[in-house]
Amino acid sequence: MDDHLDNLKKSYQLDIESAKTLGELDKLFLELFGKNGKITLFPKNFSKLEKSELKVVGPLFNQTKKSLESAIEERREEIKLSGFKKILEEPLGLRTVNSAALKKIKTKKRQGHMHLVTQFEEEIIRAFAKLGFSQFESPQIDSDDYNFEKLNIPENHPARDLWDTLYIESGGKSLESSEKITPGKLLLRTHTSNSQMRIMEKMKPPFRQMILGRCYRYENVDARHEHTFEQFEIVYVDKGLSMANLLYLSEYFFQAIFGYDVKARLKPKYYPFVEPGAGVDGLCIFCKGKGCKVCGGVGWLELAGAGMIHPTVLRNGGIDPDVYSGIAWGFGLGRMLMVREGIEDVRLFNSGDLKFLNKY
């Protein structure tokens, strides 16, 4: 039996070395390792062997199998390499151009398109316009006042730690804002909630506003955190609003963008500008609540901060909290897109990686 193995190895090794094409190699591979291949079927004879014989033949068989496998792999690489070389070394211009044939070649048109996040924003705008929400803009460079103070987050309040803020400084001195923006230190808005007070100052309730756009934080950047990211905020003020409306709107949103019945749940969460404050969870679209890798076994994905607008904030905006109530939320768009499109690294959104963007 050892002789048999030895002969098999020798004869196939010669065939492998002299193979000229990948096709020839594939044939040899099947003869050895296919369903009825010589190596595949060989262990069938082991049952006929004495224990002592098996001790010799077993290891020999393993060694033969390994060396034939790697011989095929090596030869495959050699053939491939020589093919590449041939093409690369062929001088340019030596090939005769057959212009008639060239015309027949169909090329795929590559069209430009809007960024994935922009497309997503448009989807959202369409869905919420149907509910009577209109768009509002707030500045990306803003004052401390609108980004924090008026939202019930005074300077030195520990809640400021929730937002790692990028302040704007010049020559080591903090820039005071121009008259146009309002007094206070200048910063890059940390959230689209900087729109809330502007809306309340400008509009008389009832109103339904949505704000979509970039926000900035001094983040430790990794696959899940970016310094520049997009949020979707709503500010909805009317008589008699409650958490039930918030839950309804959350489910409306999930169904609009995930395309089927995705449940929402609210859980208590602290934000200084809402009372009660809530985290909005969406039922994990992968495991439907059973728990999986994406949702970390929880069954739910936390997608937004939200709540009933704090009476102090309403009052700051000139709205009587005894008459009106308000709903506000802020969703992170990147997180939702990552879940929906199966994108694993948030940094791809800002990377300009054409390979990635071409997929969309």
Active site residues: 163, 191, 217, 231, 274, 328
Alpha-carbon separation of residue 116 from 76, 161, 330, 353 (angstroms) = 41, 31, 19, 12
346 is a site residue for ligand DAH (CB under 6 A): no
Whether the Cβ atoms of residue 305 and residue 277 lie closer than 8 Å to each other:
yes
CA 291, 295, 297, 302 torsion-angle sign = negative
Give the whole-angstrom CA distance, residue 253 versus residue 127: 8
Provide, rounded to whole angstroms, the least separation between the CB of residue 123 and ligand DAH. 20
Cis peptide preceding 276, ω within 30 of 0: yes
Q: Which helix (H) or strand (E) holds 315?
A: helix 311-316
What is the phi/psi pair of residue 191, to 5°?
Answer: -160, 160
Nearer to ligand DAH, 9 or 191 (CB): 191
Task: Determine which helix (DSSP H) or strand (DSSP E) holds 85, and give its type and residue range.
Answer: helix 51-89
Query: Is 184 a binder of ligand DAH (CB under 6 A)?
Result: no
Residue 189 Cβ vs ligand DAH, minimum distance, rounded to whole Å: 10
Cβ at position 160, least distance to ligand DAH in Å = 12
Contacts of 113 (CB under 8 A, 6+ apart): 119, 360
Is residue 305 a contact residue for ligand DAH (CB under 6 A)?
Answer: yes
Beta strand 186-188 with 264-268: parallel, antiparallel or unpaired?
unpaired
**191 contributes a contact to ligand DAH by CB under 6 A:** yes
Nearest CB to ligand DAH, comparing residues 61 and 128: 128
CB of 234 to ligand DAH, least distance (A): 7
Out of 57, 330, 337, 346, the only residue in the binding site for ligand DAH (CB under 6 A) is 330
User: Number of residues in contact with ligand DAH, rule: CB under 6 A?
Assistant: 11
Task: Give min distance, CB of 198 to ligand DAH, in A.
Answer: 13
Q: Please identify which residue in 133, 271, 300, 349 interacts with ligand DAH, judged by CB under 6 A.
A: 271
- Binding of ligand DAH by 307 (CB under 6 A): yes
Nearer to ligand DAH, 42 or 146 (CB): 146
Contact call for residue 306 and ligand DAH (CB under 6 A): yes
Is residue 209 part of the contact set for ligand DAH (CB under 6 A)?
A: no
Please name the residue that has the structure tokens 């969870």.
281
Segment 214 to 253, residues that bind ligand DAH, using CB under 6 A: 233
Chain residue whose CB lies nearest ligand DAH:
305
Per CB under 6 A, 9 contacts ligand DAH: no
Site stretch for ligand DAH (CB under 6 A), options 48-56, 89-97, 250-258, 299-307: 299-307
DSSP per position, 153-188: --TT-GGGGGS---B-EETTEEPBPPTTT-SSBEEE
Q: Is 133 in the site for ligand DAH (CB under 6 A)?
A: no
Of 253, 191, 319, 216, the residue nearest 266 (C-alpha): 253
User: From the CB of 207, what's the least distance to ligand DAH, in Å?
Assistant: 15
Q: Is 124 in the site for ligand DAH (CB under 6 A)?
A: no
Name the phi and psi angles at 142, rounded to 5. Answer: -140, 175
Residues in the chain: 360
Name the site residues for ligand DAH (rule: CB under 6 A): 191, 193, 233, 271, 274, 305-307, 328-330
